[in-house]
Amino acid sequence: MCGIVGIVGTRPVAPLIVDALKRLEYRGYDSAGVATVEQGVLDRRRAEGKLVNLQERLDSSPLSGTIGIGHTRWATHGAPIEVNAHPHFSSGVAVVHNGIIENFRELRKNLEADGFEFSSQTDTEVVAHLVEKGLRDGLSPEDAAHQAIQQLRGAFALAVMFDSDDNLIVAARSGPPLAIGHGEGEMYLGSDAVALAPFTNRITYLEDGDWAIIRRNDLAIFDTSGQTVSRQQQTSVGSALMVDKGNHRHFMIKEIYEQPEVIGHTLANYVDFNAEKIALRDMGDTQNPLEFSKLDRLNITACGTAYLAGYLSKYWFERYARLPVDIDVASEFRYREVPLSENGLSLFISQSGETADTLAGLKYCEESGQRLAAIVNVRESTIARSSHNVFPTLAGPEIGVASTKAFTCQLSVLASLAIGAGVQRGHIDEAQEKELVRALAETPRYANEVLKLEDEIKELAHSLANKEHVLYLGRDTNYPLAMEGALKLKELSYIHAEAYAAGELKHGPIALVDEEMPIVVIAPHDRIFEKTVSNMQEVAARGGNIILITDPKGAAEVGMDEAKVIVMPEMPEIITPIVYSLPIQMLAYHTAVHMGTDVDQPRNLAKSVTVE
């Protein structure tokens, strides 16, 4: 959500900033802009829509300053039009901002009373005027920026630049992430290390509440009170990332095809395949190891697809480890004043590790004295750094906004944890552990087999295109998987889709079923297959257009005339949710492609939701 790039350099920086912003497109945005200082003059170019529009502006009217800040905006306050695009100016001050200034109305009212005029509807412009007010009062640029930052409430990341000093950017973080890159005679600022990868792999991450003074050959970091603090410089994996679609049409389908490999990498981090045992590595706190046998409750909190991964894992933890699980959407959990178990573990799941509501839930649990664990795809993220135990997914960068490989890697970690918990709690014996580990080891192979069904799934997707409504049904672990399928279809194709536990069909949703209603049923031939099929037959009797995802036994039992069938390989039950994720992803993807929507950057969505 929004992207920030800044460079204090020795060469014209506008082209470099635009290239870096392109690496942040995955975060979602609806306008973009860049500003530089040249010979004591601030200048900027802004444009609605995609970065190509900004590039056209710069091609026709270049900026040649050696210091600059850039931004991709995801609208929160004010329409996504040029006047609201960043950077925002105020008499010698330029600001870019990610987040929400919650007290901007109060600040704006006071500034207007002091004679400041506003040209946008954004909350960001108050920051520029607050800094200018500090300059008017005789403060240095650094102190003016700090004074302004101290007046802000909300979640924000900021970069401030001045026409009076072409060797200074002031940055601040209160919530959304900011990374500072170290170069040779140049310094860089970005929303994450991916943006800075072409320039440097030496990164310093600002902690929550930090603000920084950045110059070509110097970096000083301060806490909220203005005291100097030290933050570790580290080598970031972001520098090695090549954000490239390769031979694929979209990032999303590329990332779908990467799943066999990244699932294998992730499982290898938690499973000793040679010994056929769970080996919970990368757990963090070695002085105080996590012991599932001592837990009496597990609380899982997440948002969106990560929430659905957590929801699905509830079945695993309760079945294999007999560990009671509470699962919450983070935006609800943070306000629910949940009573937490003294011997509980709070687990937070986030692809980016920066999800605002999830982070707020973590802070609540931290204040309550809970042990904290995290499943994240970014080891350097705030949620990871704030947790006692970290279980990284090894998905690599996920550029498509609709999560695919991050989801299946989260499930891979959760399955490993559930089995490990079952072993520690005495509910899985050695023989069962070996059997389950052998099943996990087969996951990449089965996933690769499913990719061969793409042409068949593509044909079925055409029957969903341009429908107004679609239902998804499943039981047990296939219920949250059905929810994920419905979410994917909504995100990508903008078709209204809902998921129900198949047993709930007759309690209301069956009233929606007619000949025009597609129903996607997820039903491997397992211990509850017959129950799910009986619900599917109720749909068929009312003319529903059924797409059934099952295995050879299921297809043979149902009969090919009753449904359009995606026949999956027969596989162990523990891994079916991971592998069955692929056809629901491809079904949504090809429906959206057929309808011509923006698959990688669906409207109104952002990859990393770093504000509430």
Element (H, E) at 27: none
Count the Cβ atoms, other than its own, within 10 Å of residue 287.
Answer: 5
Let me know whether 437 and 464 are in one domain: no
Any domain includes 448? no
Any domain includes 341? yes
Residue 580, pLDDT above cutoff 70:
yes
State the catalytic residue, choosing from 2, 303, 365, 409. 2
Any domain includes 12? yes
Give the model's pLDDT for residue 581.
Answer: 97
CB neighbour list of residue 270: distance below 8 Å, 6 or more residues apart: 278, 279, 280, 281, 391, 412, 413, 416, 417, 420
Domain end position, chosen among 387, 419, 441? 441
CA–chain centroid gap for 413, Å, is 17
Give the model's pLDDT for residue 80.
Answer: 87
Let me know whether 169 and 284 are in one domain: no
Residue 147, pLDDT above cutoff 60:
yes
Any domain includes 525? yes
Phi, psi of 192 (to 5 degrees): -160, 170
This prediction has a pTM of: 0.78
Which of 22-31, 132-141, 385-394 holds the top average pLDDT? 132-141
Tens-digit pLDDT profile for residues 165-196: 999 999 999 877 899 999 999 999 998 888 89
| Lowest mean pLDDT, pick from 300-314, 411-425, 504-518, 550-564 | 504-518
Residue 42, pLDDT above cutoff 50:
yes
Residue 611, pLDDT above cutoff 60:
no
Any domain includes 610? no
Domain end position, chosen among 417, 441, 465? 441
Let me know whether 234 and 258 are in one domain: no
Give the model's pLDDT for residue 600.
Answer: 87
DSSP annotation of 7 reads E
Q: What is the tally of structural domains in the chain?
A: 3
Give the model's pLDDT for residue 282.
Answer: 58
Q: What percent of the chain has pLDDT over 90?
A: 63
Comparing 24 with 159, which gets the higher pLDDT? 159
Any domain includes 538? yes
Let me know whether 209 and 280 are in one domain: no
The reply to whether 303 belongs to the active site is: no
Give the model's pLDDT for residue 268.
Answer: 83
* C-alpha span between 557 and 88 (Å, rounded): 64
Comparing 235 with 160, which gets the higher pLDDT? 160
Give the model's pLDDT for residue 285.
Answer: 62
| Mean of pLDDT values over 438-453 | 90
* C-alpha span between 609 and 85 (Å, rounded): 19
Domain span at 499? 453-598
Let me know whether 262 and 236 are in one domain: no
| Mean of pLDDT values over 214-232 | 94
* Residue 371 identity: R
Give the model's pLDDT for residue 405.
Answer: 94
Let me know whether 431 and 473 are in one domain: no
| Lowest mean pLDDT, pick from 319-323, 523-527, 584-588 | 523-527
Of the pLDDT bands very low, low, confident and very high (cuts 50, 70, 90), residue 240 is very low
Give the model's pLDDT for residue 560.
Answer: 56
State the catalytic residue, choosing from 22, 314, 405, 607. 607
Domain end position, chosen among 398, 413, 441? 441
**3 state SS of 412:** helix
| Mean of pLDDT values over 198-223 | 93
Let me know whether 261 and 395 are in one domain: yes
Let me know whether 134 and 12 are in one domain: yes
| Mean of pLDDT values over 381-397 | 90
Any domain includes 611? no
Give the model's pLDDT for residue 528.
Answer: 84
Residue 129 sits in a domain of what CATH number?
3.60.20.10
Residue 450, pLDDT above cutoff 80:
yes
* C-alpha span between 438 and 390 (Å, rounded): 24
Give the model's pLDDT for residue 207.
Answer: 86
DSSP annotation of 198 reads T
Comparing 350 with 601, which gets the higher pLDDT? 350
Contact 195, 178 (CB under 8 A): no
Which of 24-33, 105-114, 516-525 holds the top average pLDDT? 105-114
Of the pLDDT bands very low, low, confident and very high (cuts 50, 70, 90), residue 247 is low
Any domain includes 612? no
Let me know whether 126 and 191 are in one domain: yes
| Lowest mean pLDDT, pick from 4-13, 586-595, 597-606 | 597-606
Give the model's pLDDT for residue 394.
Answer: 85
Give the model's pLDDT for residue 260.
Answer: 87
Tell me the average pLDDT of the chain.
Answer: 90
Let me know whether 417 and 495 are in one domain: no
Give the model's pLDDT for residue 606.
Answer: 65
CB neighbour list of residue 207: distance below 8 Å, 6 or more residues apart: 173, 229, 231, 385
Let me know whether 202 and 343 are in one domain: no
The reply to whether 2 belongs to the active site is: yes
Tens-digit pLDDT profile for residues 327-374: 999 999 988 888 898 899 999 999 988 888 899 999 999 999 999 999
CA atoms 443, 447, 449, 450: torsion sign = positive
Alpha helices for 175-303 (secondary structure H): 193-196, 251-257, 259-268
Residue 537 sits in a domain of what CATH number?
3.40.50.10490
Contact 408, 244 (CB under 8 A): no
Give the model's pLDDT for residue 239.
Answer: 44
Phi, psi of 512 (to 5 degrees): -85, -15
Alpha helices for 271-393 (secondary structure H): 304-320, 330-333, 356-367, 382-385
Let me know whether 234 and 374 are in one domain: no
Give the model's pLDDT for residue 241.
Answer: 44
